[in-house]
Chains A and B, each alone.
Chain A
Amino acid sequence: MSPRQTGGTPVVNAKAPALVPAPAVTGEDALIESAERLRQELPKLDPKIRPDGWLEVSVPRESLGEVSRLLRDRLGYDYLLLLTGVDWKEKGFQIVLHLAGLARGERLVVTVDVPREDPRCPSVVSVWPTANWHERETWDLVGIRFEGHPDLRRILMKEGWEGHPLRKDYEDPRPPRDRFPKPQR
């Protein structure tokens, strides 16, 4: 059976869609073309093509703000899916963003390395407003400060909580307890 056409007919009303999303880019040639387009706009970056159809690129921390703006405005990556952080112990932290370009169907993963001694990263809230809560969660659980964030405070943990639970060196503050106590007679 052949793949279906995308877009779908408007079933609730007759106006034209505000934005017609394209199906996800698969296929070797289209991905190479996507990667080329990215390389042209951002020559310092070297995008890799992942086997699952996503492009992957590593961005240095200082240029994240500028690169984000170019990604959104010139390359059409207008849709931020998620932003999170990973604790790589001695190697530092890594911020990961998953982006999609709805009009062309492109998908991109951006990784930013953040040193452990200086856990700060520029915020991308001004580029993708949805990053607000994602960055708050990353600050709360991984402990990376996002500079330029309008309201960086804890979101999942209680206010006043100390420590960042998703870090690998986070110590459970609860007192040790007997996991298999004997029944009291």
Chain B
Amino acid sequence: MTKRVVEHLLAIVVVGAVFGVLIARMHEEESARRTALDPAVQEALRLPFLDFGDPLDRALFRETLDALAPHHRSRHNSLLQKIAEVRREQFTTEAYKTGAEERGITSVKLLRVGAMYLQFIAIYVLVMAITVYASETLGVYRFVRMKQKKSSSLTRCLEVVRDVRLPHARRVVEAARHLALAIAKGLLSMVLFSPAYVIAYSFKTRFDTDSVVFMVVLGVLSNGLLITYAHKFTTFLVAESRKGYVETALVKNLFHSYAARIPDGIPLVAMVRLRKRFPGHVFHHIYLNAHHQYLPALKEHASLLISGLVIIEMALNIQGHLSYEMLKNILYRQYDVVLLIAFGMYLLVKGTEVTVDLMMEREARRLENRASMGGNDR
């Protein structure tokens, strides 16, 4: 474990150093670009009582210079021309269009971006917790339904239509009910696979800083995240249920019915519980082992989740959020700030990786101890 933590730390140090060098270099280039301005132009532009946009002020400035140094009229012309060029550049070049903000990484900007970063982490942790819980619950539900051999609503609808034993009126009602259920499930599937911006623009045209709840809901439901990881968890459960120890457990008379309404079965309440436990049932062991295998997938989940949140914040232009700030800085070519935010996101992914490694280590130790004491979850 120590080796893995050292690897992570080394990666953070090296990447941090690379980002640091790049940021410092961009900062220097920016300063050099600014100091490359003619000192005379800089000095003239600093005069608070002159407005170089006003022709009267320009004429007054020129006459004053001519009066002070009458032999350098051409130099004065050239200075005024340079001032006009710099002003034009300030009005037209995108690089200057950052409002009243100073360019580069300043302490004010660092504080503002830091606050946005903390907000991003809070949203990330919340969405992560909800998606992990929801994908496990959905995965368990799908697996149990599979074991209950329940057919899909569309198949049920067709079965009801073909069932001539049922009275006609009841057949129509039942078929309509199953068809409506099938359509609702189809629409829900479409929502779960929709990219966030498709769902979002279906409901709203403008997104503000108060859209945090909306963002969390979108983060959980959109971009296919929930459905992908629910499916992954079901796959782990299916693979686990095919292993030999399950057969052994059945021979040893562990409960193995997946019916919902019998005492030894799997009730819905147990499936939706935060801490899922199925005592005495073979599924308890299947679930624990699948959960153990699911832990490494959280690393991949973290990266996808961050991508999803970035897409939501950028595509919906949610001002005052980290990804929107990043987008704005790409637009104004302040790449040092962009790199700083990208490094922040890298740190978040690395932080998740370290946490997952620690969780896996703890889980492995717990299983080993249990094995040495005679009990075995497997």
Tell me, yes or no, whether A binds B. Answer: no
| A interface residues (Cβ-Cβ under 8 A, vs B) | none
Binding site for A on B (CB under 8 A): none
